[in-house]
Amino acid sequence: METGVISTIPDRCKRCYSCVRECPAKAIKVVNGQALVMTERCVACGHCIKVCSQGAKRMREDVDLVERILEGEGENVAIVAPSFAASFPGEPKRVTTAIRDLGFDKVVETAFGADLVSIAYHDLYAEHDSSKPIVASPCPAINNLVQKYYAELAPNLAPVVSPMIALGRFIKKKWGADRKVVFFGPCTAKKLEIEEEEVGDAIDAVLTFTELKTLFAKRGIDVAEREPSEFDQPRAGLGKAFPLAGGLLKSASISGDTLDREIVVVEGKQKALELIQEIAEGNIDASLVDILFCEGCISGPAIESDLNYYSRRQKVVDFVREDLNRTDKKLWKSHVYNARDLDLTRTFEGKSQRRPTPDEKTIREILARTNKLSEEDQLNCGACGYHTCREHAVAVAKGLGEEEMCLPFLIEELQSAYDNLHTAREQLHQAEKLASIGQLAAGVAHEINNPLGAIMMYASLVKRTLAKLECQNAPKEDLELIVKEAQRCKNIVANLLNFARQGRLNLSTFDLNELVEETLKKTRIDPKYGDVIFETKFESPRMEIEGDREQLEQTIANILSNGADAMETTDGEKRLTTTVRRENDGAIVEVEDCGCGVPEENFGKIFTPFFTTKKIGKGAGLGLAIVYGIVKMHRGQIRFENREEAGARFILELPIEQRKNKPIEETEIVAQ
* Residues 236-278 pLDDT 10s: 998 888 888 888 888 877 765 555 668 888 999 999 999 999 9
pLDDT at 666: 37
Give the helix/strand (H/E) hosting 580: strand 574-583
State the Cα–Cα distance between residues 514 and 517, nearest whole angstrom: 5
Q: Which fold has domain 502-672?
A: Heat Shock Protein 90 (3.30.565)
pLDDT at 668: 34
Which 3 state secondary structure label does DSSP give 23? coil
pLDDT grade for 499, boundaries at 50, 70 and 90? low
- For the question of whether the overall pTM of this predicted structure is more than 0.75, the answer is no
**438 pLDDT more than 70:** no
Across the range 596-612, mean pLDDT stands at 74
pLDDT grade for 651, boundaries at 50, 70 and 90? very high
pLDDT grade for 436, boundaries at 50, 70 and 90? low
Q: What is the pLDDT of residues 398-425, one digit of tens each?
A: 888 888 788 788 788 888 888 888 877 8
CATH class of 416-500: mainly alpha
Which DSSP string corresponds to 100-124? HHHT-SEEEETHHHHHHHHHHHHHH
Q: How far is CA 52 from CA 48, 58, 71, 293, in A?
A: 6, 10, 35, 18
More confident residue, 263 or 589: 589
Residue in 287, 292, 284, 285 with CA at minimum distance from that of residue 246: 292
Q: What is the pLDDT of residues 63-118, one digit of tens each?
A: 999 999 999 888 999 999 999 999 998 778 899 999 999 999 999 999 999 999 99
**Which is it for strands 106-109 and 76-80: parallel, antiparallel or unpaired?**
parallel
Q: What percent of the chain has pLDDT over 90?
A: 39
CATH class of 1-60: alpha beta
Contacts (Cβ under 8 Å, ≥6 apart) of 127: none
pLDDT at 498: 61
pLDDT grade for 667, boundaries at 50, 70 and 90? very low
39-59 burial: b if 16+ Cβ within 10 Å, else e: bebbbbbbbbbbbbeeebbbb
Across the range 568-578, mean pLDDT stands at 84
Q: What is the pLDDT of residues 300-325, one digit of tens each?
A: 999 888 889 899 999 889 888 888 88
Point out the least confidently predicted range of 13-17, 19-23, 251-255: 251-255
Across the range 356-380, mean pLDDT stands at 87
**440 pLDDT more than 70:** no
Contacts (Cβ under 8 Å, ≥6 apart) of 123: none
pLDDT at 178: 92
pLDDT at 431: 64
pLDDT at 471: 66
